Amino acid sequence: MGQVEELREAVVSGEVEIAVEKMNEGLAAGVSPEVLLRDGVNAAMSEVGALYEAGEIFIPEMLVAARATTAALNVLKPHLVEQGVPSRGKVAIGTVKGDLHDIGKNLVAMFLEGSGFDVVDLGADVSPERFVAEAQGGAQVIAMSALLTTTMMNMRDVVAALENAQVRDRVRVIVGGAPLSDEYVMQIRADGYAPDASAAVGMLCELLQV
Amino acid sequence: MQLAVVHDDVLDRFDVDTIELGRAFALDDADWKEWTLPDGSPCEIPVWTSPERVHDGWVLRSKSGRIIGKMPDGGLYFEAVNWPFLEGTPDHEALEQAMAECMWSIPHPPGPLVEGPDGDRLLVEGARRLRESTDRAILGEFGGALMEWGDFLYRIDNFLAMLVEKPDRADDLIERLTDLFVAQLEKYLALVGQYIDVIVFYDDMCMQNGPMISPKMYRERFKPNHARMWKRAKDLADVKVLLHVCGSFRALLPDLIDAGVDAINPVQTNCKGMDAAGLKRDFGEQMTFWGGGCDTQSILPRATPEQVRDHVKQQVDTLRPGGGFVFQQVHNILADVPPENIVAMFDTARGL
């Protein structure tokens, strides 16, 4: 079994140290960073997503796989930059103003990054102005999360702020969180909703056609 | 610790059948102090809670002075911002000291009013007074959360990862928590067991689309410890065990029932696999649904009173036949709910 295959398996089973080790081995053996990303890390994320959707793994297993991904990517990133390997798109993600619940947002961020997106994590309690600044700074996707029916209303303010700053056309706006729905996406003129981290990756690939 | 105390005139207006044991306490003006809600409305909070203003919101401190909770501007609730076991390899021997540094340890009434040398006597007297004054069912708010205390102490992502990466550490914590709660339960029920009808446990383990952990992991790690508490409660007093668990719990339900649950709240019927008819059909003879009366994510805050009425009628018609149903809306009534929808909901439920 080659390093890429071993890397993929280590990520799927959430073995952080082995994933880092296999990534280093692959780089040392001269495997191209692009192959390590695509066939190692990204393929592992797809497999984890499929296992989750099939009900074979749950959040703890998904979390450790996402953490192994993050660790392996930290090793790989400088090499990707050096080789000029393009990302699938730049995503600015955060929980909306007033909402500190960030477990779901964090999982989505890790999944998107592991799936080849360039993720700027703005953290929790993010103001509309900060989302707008990211859109102005070149983010192609604004991703927002809220847990409560009270705070989800703040998503509308972010869309309005993007419109006022005349950057709404430049970005895709996606949302997630317990009370969210496709219907609400329509109401606030966002572009997409996904019920979990794995589905978010698929939805975003479709929206960006990548 | 953040829910409003519902006054007697409101309980009477809606003909409410239950009351919390905590309502027997903090009856003096001296137990309360003035505060202002985020929307500017005046309110009163227990004297033992002291929110402090910071530049971007409000914070709460533990007795030792550490900031443990925060309500950001634009938000309506305090959230935990301190996880005592976040870093290093914490000492599980120091469990109780660590719990005191978590926001969710800040108590609702009676809280500190029944601490100290006279505490037990005051607790019993309060419970007896409440029992003698009402024929409402009295709910003893006990707690006893295992997964959630893991989350509060370690932070949820770390605790969930620990369940996979260091299962022995996780088991050690879960067992120590259970030992602590069983000891508390024995003392609590010896004092108030004869005055309460229902003992309330909570443990949020689920999301909109299913449990956070596999049913297998639940069965191996949590169920034996939940059963130790829930079955012990019923051995000690003539009480029913009510468990609060949000989200889609259907995949765990056979095990929860087996572990001793009599009733579950809040029954989020809009979640995956949680449609009321299916739950009633498959589990209605084994347990009571305490909730599910009105959806709170799309209906109660957003629909018209007429739509609320139709929805409530449908939920009650589904969940009530044969008994085993206590009407309650799904989860707390948040600040975005129009008052006329609350009236429509309770009046419809009462009128059916």
State pLDDT tens for residues B71-111.
999 899 999 999 999 998 999 999 999 999 999 999 989 99
Q: How far apart are CA B40 and CA B38, in angstroms?
A: 5
Average pLDDT over residues A172-182: 95
pTM of the shown model: 0.94
What pLDDT is recorded for position B28? 95
Please give the full DSSP string across B208-245, using - where no structure is assigned: TTEESS-HHHIIIIIHHHHHHHHHHHHHHSS-EEEEE-
- What single DSSP character describes residue B6? P
- Grouping H, G, I as helix, E, B as strand and the rest as coil, residue B322 is coil
| Contact map slice: A 27-46 vs B, CB within 8 A | none
What pLDDT is recorded for position A141? 98
Average of per-residue pLDDT values in chain B: 96
Interchain CB distance below 8 Å, B209 and A195: yes
What pLDDT is recorded for position B2? 85
At A1, the pLDDT band (50, 70, 90 cuts) reads: low
What pLDDT is recorded for position B352? 87
- Asked whether A94 and A68 are in contact (CB, 8 A), the reply is no
Of residues B225, B196, B182, the one with CA closest to residue B123? B196
What pLDDT is recorded for position A28? 97
Average pLDDT over residues B280-296: 97
- Per-residue pLDDT tens for B154-191? 999 999 999 999 999 999 999 999 999 999 999 999 99
Residues of B in contact with A151 (CB under 8 A): 74-75
Interchain CB distance below 8 Å, B72 and A58: no
Q: Chain A closest CA to B267's CA: distance in Å?
A: 15
What pLDDT is recorded for position B119? 96
Average pLDDT over residues B318-329: 97
What pLDDT is recorded for position B252? 98
Percent of chain B with pLDDT over 70: 100
- Asked whether B47 and B33 are in contact (CB, 8 A), the reply is yes
Do the strands B18-20 and B137-143 form a parallel or antiparallel pair, or are they unpaired? parallel
What pLDDT is recorded for position B254? 98
Is the model's pLDDT at B1 over the cut of 80? no
Q: How far apart are CA B186 and CA B41, in angstroms?
A: 41
What pLDDT is recorded for position B103? 96
Interchain CB distance below 8 Å, A58 and B214: yes
- Asked whether B264 and B287 are in contact (CB, 8 A), the reply is yes
3-class DSSP string for B284-310: CCCCEEECCCECCCCHHHHCCHHHHHH
- Count H helices and E strands in chain A, helices first: 11, 5
* Closest by Cβ to A148, choosing from B211, B298, B334: B334
- Grouping H, G, I as helix, E, B as strand and the rest as coil, residue B206 is strand
Q: How far apart are CA B18 and CA B25, in angstroms?
A: 16
Average pLDDT over residues B311-330: 97
Encode B162-185: b = buried (16+ Cβ within 10 Å), e = exposed: bbbbeeebbbebbbebbeebbeeb
Q: How far apart are CA B241 and CA B189, in angstroms?
A: 12
- State the first-to-last Cα distance of chain A, in angstroms, to the nearest integer: 29
Report how far apart, in Å, the C-alpha atoms of B12 and of each of A64, B4, B93, B116 are. 50, 16, 47, 34
